[in-house]
Amino acid sequence: MLIQRFKSKIHRAVVTEANLHYVGSITIDEDLMDASHIQEGERVQIVNNNNGERLETYVIAGERGSGVICLNGAAARKVEVGDIVIIISYGWMTPEEAKNFEPTTIYPQDNNRID
């Protein structure tokens, strides 16, 4: 049996864009993706601290060093530029693997930069 477990998180990033007329997803700065071990195409959950919305979508790589956090398509209706979001990824693992797994959490600073 496999269980789904918290794998990684970008904690309290600021939404920089919302693009309703895009084909869906979330665009994330590649520096944030690398630091959080989130891959392009990976399924993520987005929690909006400002309004309580929760949604799931997949990741598109954004320009490295840009600080971009852009909700695209229908997800753009769930945020406003300036909202604080938490982006969470999960992984499937055996219960034994889960006991020893250490998730990754990053805390972006001003302009969604990591130090």
In tens digits, what is the pLDDT along the chain, a chain of 115 residues? 999 999 999 999 999 999 999 987 999 999 999 999 999 999 999 999 999 999 999 999 999 999 999 999 999 999 999 999 999 999 999 999 999 999 999 999 999 999 7
pTM, whole model, 2 decimals? 0.96
| Model pLDDT, residue 115 | 78
Alpha-carbon dihedral angle through residues 79, 80, 86, 87, given to the nearest 10 degrees: 60
3-108, what's its fold?
A: Barwin-like endoglucanases (2.40.40)
Closest CA to 48 of 21, 16, 87: 87
| Model pLDDT, residue 23 | 81
| Model pLDDT, residue 9 | 98
Q: What whole-number distance in Å separates Cα of residue 62 and Cα of residue 95?
A: 34
For the annotated catalytic residues, the residue numbers are: 25, 58
Closest CA to 87 of 58, 50, 51: 58
- Token pair in block for residue 99: 């006991």
Closest CA to 87 of 49, 115, 51: 49
Sequence ranges of the domains in the chain: 3-108
| Model pLDDT, residue 31 | 98
